[in-house]
Amino acid sequence: MGTATPLLMGIVNVTPDSFSDGGRYVDPAAAIAHGRQLLADGADVLDVGGESTRPGATRPLLEEELARVVPVIEALSRDAVVSVDTMRAEVARAALDAGARIVNDVSGGLADPAILDVVAATDATYVAMHWRAHADRMQQLASYDETGGVVATVRGELADRVAAARAAGIPDERLVLDPGLGFAKTAAHNWALVAGLEEIAGLGLRVLVGGSRKSFLGSLLAGPDGSPRPVDDREAASTALTLLLAERGVWCVRVHEVRASRDALRVLARLTEEEQ
């Protein structure tokens, strides 16, 4: 891995309960407008999701998730590369039919193995994230006592997901890995994974990372009384993380606020040109 300019994936949460902007874009028209603004700010991909995966969240009904994401994907895919953030095969199929070109599955196929077959039957890109359980109990599984700790364990468990995706017929050129910051991870686990991204990249596939506004940044920026920095006040740290990830050569960074990350990447790219 080395310094590169990663793609920026702008987050479009069509949910009432996401940890950062839950409810702000639950109306399809608001979500579509937000997606278009992210494009104007420099997003390369728009990631549309209808299920919150914040710790403790409960799952929506299938019909609810479909109703949230399909109209938004239909509208945004006319002008943008759209990713659907889902763990359900039915939603992935409907999203791809509506124009999505990437399936971003935070469960890596564990929640609904049929999603691998859906992707294999198309030319879509598949993002497999490291995952251990649904949001209502995932933090109970944040233990990595095996040899090599969290980095080696996540790498090994992601390798299993790669094997499953390959077995379903998804070729390596359409596979992307995500270490799953914040999913069954403590803050210390997250920082170890960021530091050890070369191990994840060592599996030979592209890497996507989503750390924007997450709680490990909030705890890092805690006030004198120990209370975490509020979610909406973590943007500078999120932008710094984007630069760090760029220097580690990741393929894509998933962010809430695209403009700040795009500006920072332009600065880095300009400096890199000067040094060459």
* DSSP state letters, 68-97: HHHHHHHHHTTTSEEEEE-S-HHHHHHHHH
Rounded-to-integer distance, Cα 1 and Cα 243, Å: 14
How far is residue 8 from each of residues 12, 76, 138, 164, 209, measured CA to CA in Å? 13, 16, 27, 27, 10
pLDDT in tens, 5-21: 999 999 999 987 554 55
What is the H or E stretch that residue 276 is in? none
pLDDT over 70, % of the chain? 96
pLDDT in tens, 252-266: 999 999 999 999 999
Which pLDDT score is estimated for 122? 98
Where residue 138 falls among pLDDT bands split at 50, 70, 90?
A: confident
| Weakest mean pLDDT among 2-16, 216-230, 259-273 | 2-16
Which pLDDT score is estimated for 145? 84
pLDDT over 90, % of the chain? 82
pLDDT in tens, 29-77: 999 999 999 999 999 999 999 998 777 778 899 999 999 999 999 999 9
What is the pLDDT of the chain when averaged over all its residues? 93
Rounded-to-integer distance, Cα 25 and Cα 42, Å: 19
pLDDT in tens, 64-80: 999 999 999 999 999 99
* Active site residue ranges: 214, 254
Which pLDDT score is estimated for 136? 80
